[in-house]
Amino acid sequence: MSAVTSERPSAGARLAALGRTLVSPRGAVFLLLIVLLIAMAVLNPSFAEPSQFIRFVQRVAPVAIVAIGQYFVIVGGEFDLSMGSVVTAQVVIAGNLIGQDEAKSLPVLALMLAFGAFIGLVNGLIVTLLKVPSFIVTLGMMLALLGGTLYWTGGAATGNPADGFREIGRGGIRGIPVIDILPWSVVVLAVVLAAAIWFSKRPFGRTIIALGDNPTTARFSGTRNWWVKTSTFMISSLSATVAGVLLVGYAGVHPSVGRGYEFIAITAVVLGGVVLGGGRGWVVAAAAGAFALEALFTVLNFAGVPSTYRDAVQGAIIILAVAYSATTFRSRRRGRGIEASPDATSPTSPDAATPISPDAANKTSPAPAEERDAPASARPAPIPSTSRADNETKGGS
Amino acid sequence: MRRRYTVASAMVGALALLTMAGCTTDPNVAAPTDDAASTEESVEWFDQELFDKQDAERDVVPEGPDGEPWLQHINAEMVDTSEFAAEGAKKACFANASISNPWRTTGWITMNQQLEVLQEAGVISEMETRDAQDSDDTQIADIDYFIEEGGCDVFIISPNSTAAMTPAVERACETGKPVIVFDRGVQTDCPVTFIHPIGGFAWGIDTAEFLIDELEEGDKVVALRILPGVDVLEQRWAAAEKLFDEAGIEAVDYFTGADPAEIKKIISDELAKGDVQGIWMDAGDGAVAAIEAFEDAGVDYPVMTGEDEMSFLRKWKETGLTGLAPVYSNFQWRTPLLAVQKIFAGEEVPSEWVLPQSPITAEEVDQYLALNENMPDGHYAKFGGEDLPGYPQVWEDRIVP
């Protein structure tokens, strides 16, 4: 991103750089999204109308918010499998506690946020202090929350909360020219995304990436690893809470709301070019991954793919897309493992670590390659440090 | 590295092509395959003989005590159970498929209240229940456990799936103790009695006929289905699809998993594509979300069939839409325990105990809303537990035993 905006090359060079960015794994998700949106508009011209499109954005907002939360956990080197069940639990909490009493909206909302933060804190502390792999911790949390929800509801929806509370997910500002209605969900998504971009540019946000890249160096540079990691889990649980608030408005209360969201979010994040295992990624690409995924579902629907094998087609396309970014990343990593150490020592100031273009990857002396390929290094995200050899991470916190 | 980029670009190109191919060629290619797939489905699940049987059963006046539909039966062939006649309280073993949806939860609550009555009457000493949580494997293990070490006097089985559970049910029959199967069926007639409402085809006929009457030829119906592969659900759609086809109604079906977010997404997409005049559901769970999608899009309400779940009945009344609530009689959860009582008393029972199943129409909806005024949204209006202890509190609080 920095290269595209700050270097001001000629229009042609900029276009070429943009093209390269779009085919690179980091930019591929945007290309995929554009292709899917065009396909959607071709299949169903009414979709291209702004009022229809904004409804699409409204619908994707909860998924995108969950993906943004998951991004922080993944880029920090962990997983959060409990997000979907946090959404479910929050939806049920809203339904049961608010009921038809609109006055309870704010207190219950505060309670939901506190509950979300608490779940994240528990996940984070077990991962960091007890050193249990996050995969297991959050899997356990997922089952615990789902079981708790089932116990509480008896497997059935208890009824939707007051309409005033549901307005956040269902309603919007009406009477706006062109788009007709500006759903509150879209506003919330914009705010969350802006906050996420701002946050990931702050030192603390950088530290998360550094931690995901190499916990040992992060620790040596004075990071309180346990707190940084715990906070990523709190961010993800809170984002799941926000998604839950939107979903309870959009869809209503049902124990199946939120089901599978953790996997959709992880897929979206990976589709957005974020590396599983941490250390690389751009939050906007993760959000774009969520949009691409939902656009894919919609295209398959518009294309009239029969319901019996729609899932299979979805799966195949997702595997292809993810495999694409994974193979290119791996080939880059292999070529560059040797030069990891110099840059990895300064992960907290990613902009200082000059992004190295893939062309430099198979050169043995990184310095001249960096200079020569500087204009070609147009990437959507600053890369905080180079890749690491796997054994470097073994001694991590 | 240049070469890698070429490969990478080629892959993106291929992916894009694939995606586009999947879409742009659709009108020519996908439409025929769609038809082929649907015929295949119909062939698989559609059974003309069963369709005709259930079609006829809809008009039969059931035999049995008035006002107690859970003891009524249609066209029954009675079997003698005098060989099982015995004194004293018996232990029942119940292998349940799951309580993972509101219909099953409601039925399970009713069953437990019925159990209380029979325990007080000294018919049943205790009922040991194993919940298979929607898993065939678990349920087979549950049934085998009951056979080997359950010390059961009678087996009650609510099968998770038809074919997979047949051998296990046969093993239970081989013990020589009475076996009662209800809800979903098995492919053997060894159980003493198989209890079920008329069935999926009757549901499909009731709902499709209603929509066909209310709509015109060429109108579009969106069918929202919970999940594939369960006979009672597949038969509902098989019957409805056939009738829609014959009447020239355009029907598209989706699997929703009863997730309201998914339902809303499907309906919004369909409304973006074009007008939708009717909604057909194979179960009412999520009906409210479907109706709300029409509200959000600012278009007229569809003609709709849901289920006798309270959430749908309430939304139906509130919006005043044209609707029908088909019923998959929830009161059938009482019948297996009452069958236990009859079997140990040596009274004859129907070998196939077909319970009445009649939809709630617009004229009846007020009456059912009033009867179930304080019940939660996931409650089913025809749960048939009004004369049991704990009514209405137990169902209102929805305490799952």
The pLDDT value recorded for residue A305 is 78
User: CATH number for the domain including B206?
Assistant: 3.40.50.2300
pLDDT at B373 over 70: yes
- State which residue of chain B sits closest to A44, comparing Cα positions: B273
Domain-embedded: residue B9: no
Q: In chain A, positions 3-22, which contact chain B (CB-CB < 8 Å)?
A: none
The pLDDT value recorded for residue B100 is 79
Region B357-381: mean pLDDT is 92
The closest CB to that of A23, out of B12, B34, B106, belongs to B12
Confidence of residue A300 (pLDDT cuts 50, 70, 90): confident
The pLDDT value recorded for residue A328 is 64
Q: Are residues B152 and B204 in the same domain?
A: no
Paired tokens of B393: 């509190």
Domain-embedded: residue B108: yes
The pLDDT value recorded for residue B236 is 93
By the CB < 8 Å criterion, does B361 face chain A?
A: no
pLDDT at A391 over 80: no
Q: Are residues B160 and B175 in the same domain?
A: yes
- State which residue of chain A sits closest to B101, comparing Cα positions: A155
Domain-embedded: residue B129: yes
Q: Are residues B72 and B217 in the same domain?
A: no
Region A243-263: mean pLDDT is 89
pLDDT at A242 over 80: yes
SS3 B189: coil
Which pLDDT tens digit goes with each residue over A105-130?
999 999 999 999 999 999 999 999 99
By the CB < 8 Å criterion, does A308 face chain B?
A: yes
Q: Are residues B134 and B212 in the same domain?
A: no
Q: In chain B, positions 221-240, which contact chain A (CB-CB < 8 Å)?
A: 225, 228
Which pLDDT tens digit goes with each residue over B329-367?
999 999 999 999 999 999 999 999 999 999 999 999 999
Query: Which of A180, A254, A328 should we substitute to test contact with B (largest number of B Cβ atoms within 10 Å)?
Result: A254
Q: Are residues B233 and B314 in the same domain?
A: yes
By the CB < 8 Å criterion, does A314 face chain B?
A: no
Which pLDDT tens digit goes with each residue over A29-77?
888 899 999 998 898 888 888 888 888 899 999 999 999 999 999 999 9
Cβ pair B102:A157 closer than 8 A = yes
Confidence of residue B388 (pLDDT cuts 50, 70, 90): very high
Q: In chain A, positions 343-372, which contact chain B (CB-CB < 8 Å)?
A: 358-359, 361-362
Backbone angles phi, psi at B364, to 5 degrees: -95, -10
Cβ pair B288:A23 closer than 8 A = no
Domain-embedded: residue B4: no
Domain-embedded: residue B15: no
Cβ contact B137:B172 at 8 Å: no
Confidence of residue B398 (pLDDT cuts 50, 70, 90): confident
Show the DSSP H helices in chain A as ranges.
2-6, 11-23, 25-43, 50-75, 83-93, 105-129, 134-153, 163-170, 184-201, 203-213, 215-220, 225-250, 261-271, 283-302, 307-336, 340-344, 366-372, 390-393
By the CB < 8 Å criterion, does A31 face chain B?
A: yes
Sole residue written with tokens 């109706």: B291
Cβ pair A156:B378 closer than 8 A = yes
Closest among B261, B383, B363, B257 to B310, alpha carbons compared: B383
Query: Which range has the worst mean pLDDT, A143-147, B213-217, B228-232?
Result: B228-232
Residue type, B22: G
pLDDT at A322 over 90: no
Cβ pair A251:B289 closer than 8 A = yes
Chain B residues within 8 A of A259 when measuring between CB atoms:
257, 259
Confidence of residue A90 (pLDDT cuts 50, 70, 90): very high
Q: Are residues B106 and B158 in the same domain?
A: yes
By the CB < 8 Å criterion, does B6 face chain A?
A: no
According to CATH, the topology of domain A2-393 is: ABC transporter involved in vitamin B12 uptake, BtuC (1.10.3470)
Range of the domain at B108: 55-199+329-357
By the CB < 8 Å criterion, does B10 face chain A?
A: no
By the CB < 8 Å criterion, does B273 face chain A?
A: yes
Size of interface A-B (CB pairs under 8 A): 171
Which pLDDT tens digit goes with each residue over A328-342?
666 655 554 333 333
Cα B365 to Cα A165, A391, B131, B316: the distances in Å are 29, 68, 33, 9
Q: Are residues B255 and B173 in the same domain?
A: no
Query: Which range has the worst mean pLDDT, A306-315, B220-229, B269-278, B326-335?
Result: A306-315
Confidence of residue B162 (pLDDT cuts 50, 70, 90): confident
Chain A residues within 8 A of B36 when measuring between CB atoms:
none
By the CB < 8 Å criterion, does B346 face chain A?
A: no
Chain B residues within 8 A of A143 when measuring between CB atoms:
none
- State which residue of chain B sits closest to A253, comparing Cα positions: B260
Which pLDDT tens digit goes with each residue over A160-186?
888 888 888 888 888 888 777 899 999
pLDDT at B178 over 70: yes
By the CB < 8 Å criterion, does A108 face chain B?
A: no
Q: In chain A, positions 230-249, which contact chain B (CB-CB < 8 Å)?
A: 247
Q: Are residues B316 and B349 in the same domain?
A: no
Chain A residues within 8 A of B34 when measuring between CB atoms:
304, 306
pLDDT at B167 over 90: yes
Chain B residues within 8 A of A335 when measuring between CB atoms:
1
* Nearest chain B CA: its distance from A301 CA (Å): 8
* Nearest chain A CA: its distance from B93 CA (Å): 22
Domain-embedded: residue B205: yes
* Nearest chain A CA: its distance from B181 CA (Å): 23
Number of domains in chain B: 2
The pLDDT value recorded for residue A352 is 39
Confidence of residue A368 (pLDDT cuts 50, 70, 90): very low
Cβ contact B241:B253 at 8 Å: yes
Chain A residues within 8 A of B268 when measuring between CB atoms:
55, 59
The pLDDT value recorded for residue B22 is 38
Region B239-257: mean pLDDT is 91
The closest CB to that of A307, out of B254, B285, B286, belongs to B254
Domain-embedded: residue B161: yes
Using CB atoms within 10 A of its CB, is residue A178 exposed (0-12), middle (13-18) or buried (19+)? exposed
- State which residue of chain B sits closest to A330, comparing Cα positions: B4
Cβ pair B31:A304 closer than 8 A = yes
* Nearest chain A CA: its distance from B257 CA (Å): 8
Domain boundaries, chain A: 2-393
The residues that bridge with B304 in the sheet, in sequence order, are B279, B323
Q: Are residues B143 and B228 in the same domain?
A: no
Cβ pair A324:B22 closer than 8 A = no
By the CB < 8 Å criterion, does B30 face chain A?
A: yes
Domain-embedded: residue B182: yes
Cα B247 to Cα A347, B183, B211, B221: the distances in Å are 68, 30, 10, 12
pTM of this prediction? 0.77
Give B354's DSSP letter.
E
Give the contacts of A33 (CB within 8 A, at least 6 positions apart). Answer: A288, A291, A292, A295
Paired tokens of A113: 């946020």
Give the contacts of A282 (CB within 8 A, at least 6 positions apart). Answer: A1, A26, A272, A273, A274, A380, A381
The pLDDT value recorded for residue A325 is 65
- Percent of chain A surpassing pLDDT 70: 76
Cβ contact A13:A142 at 8 Å: no
**ipTM of the shown complex:** 0.72
Region A234-261: mean pLDDT is 91
The residues that bridge with A283 in the sheet, in sequence order, are none
Q: Are residues B128 and B186 in the same domain?
A: yes
By the CB < 8 Å criterion, does A41 face chain B?
A: no
* Nearest chain B CA: its distance from A218 CA (Å): 31
By the CB < 8 Å criterion, does A301 face chain B?
A: yes
